[in-house]
Amino acid sequence: MVCQGVRHPSTELRQEDPRVSRGRFASAAVSDDEAPRGSSAGSDERRLQILRAAADVICERGFDDTRVAQVANRAGVSGGTIIYHFRTLDQLLVEALKHAEELFYASAEGIVAGGTSPQDRLRRLVEWMFSPDHDNRQLWSLWIDTWSQATRHEEVATTRAAQDQRWRTMIARIVGELPITRRDIERFAVGFAAILDGLMIQMALDDPNVDAELARELAMSYASAALGW
């Protein structure tokens, strides 16, 4: 399964928030008694609490079957608080993805920084990404949902494009010191990112023919062939 460490769907509230049309678009107004009160720090913590809950619910149920009431129940807040912070479910998906990706990149940058060469840095990234000791499956699930939603929703599509570029930029930076042209570096980054994304999808779907060992081997074989190692 893609998601791990989340509660069963039967624990979620099933009813939809009346201010959300088909579980997606929030109404324009939130009443005064629903708006969160307190310090800015408290509001920021509540927002993070909602993002963590949203990531869990979206991972568990899929974005199309996620409702405000379910996220509110998981986060222990009211539906009005969700709407106050995020307005629409599209925005909530986008912000949950951004939050998960910040955690991903913070860890990935630390892993890569320990490498002694471009080859070693790529190897460390690939081993970490597909290591059973560092489960990135929730983020993979969010990525898959984001790609699907990006075909239909402009806000999600914009975020998808920015996040894909960030991924490619990181890869390009890893191999940037190699004696090849900038164009070759950029082309490699696009290809290598596509290879990693494709392998990630197969692993997220529990493809019996693609395990972590094979994913690492295939990714590094592509890098070796493309960069002449």
What band does 13 get if pLDDT is binned at 50, 70 and 90? very low
Q: Identify the pLDDT of residue 3.
A: 53
**Paired tokens of 13:** 């509230």
Name which CATH class applies to 9-87. Answer: mainly alpha
In this predicted structure, the answer to whether residue 198 has a pLDDT above a threshold of 60 is yes
In this predicted structure, the answer to whether residue 199 has a pLDDT above a threshold of 50 is yes
Contacts of 152 (CB under 8 A, 6+ apart): none
Q: Identify the pLDDT of residue 40.
A: 62
Q: Identify the pLDDT of residue 104.
A: 83
Domain-wise residue ranges, the chain: 9-87, 91-227
Mean pLDDT score across all residues of the chain: 80
Per-residue pLDDT reduced to its tens digit, 69-117: 999 999 999 888 888 888 887 788 788 878 888 888 888 899 999 999 9
Q: Identify the pLDDT of residue 103.
A: 83
What band does 30 get if pLDDT is binned at 50, 70 and 90? very low
Which 3 state secondary structure label does DSSP give 224? Answer: helix
Specify the pTM: 0.74
Nearest-angstrom CA–CA distance, 15 and 70 = 8
Contacts of 4 (CB under 8 A, 6+ apart): 135, 137, 138
Per-residue pLDDT reduced to its tens digit, 128-176: 999 877 767 777 877 888 888 888 888 778 888 998 999 999 999 999 9
Fold topology of 91-227: Tetracycline Repressor; domain 2 (1.10.357)
C-alpha dihedral, 166 to 130 to 195 to 148, nearest 10°: -70
107 neighbors 55 (Cβ within 8 angstroms)? no
In this predicted structure, the answer to whether residue 34 has a pLDDT above a threshold of 70 is no
In this predicted structure, the answer to whether residue 65 has a pLDDT above a threshold of 70 is yes
Q: Identify the pLDDT of residue 84.
A: 87
What's phi and psi for 152, nearest 5 deg? Answer: -130, -15
Q: Identify the pLDDT of residue 186.
A: 96
146 neighbors 159 (Cβ within 8 angstroms)? yes
What's phi and psi for 11, nearest 5 deg? Answer: -80, -10
Stretch 57-72: mean pLDDT, rounded? 85
For residue 88, the 8-state DSSP code is B
Answer with the residue of higher pLDDT: 218 or 59.
218
What band does 41 get if pLDDT is binned at 50, 70 and 90? low
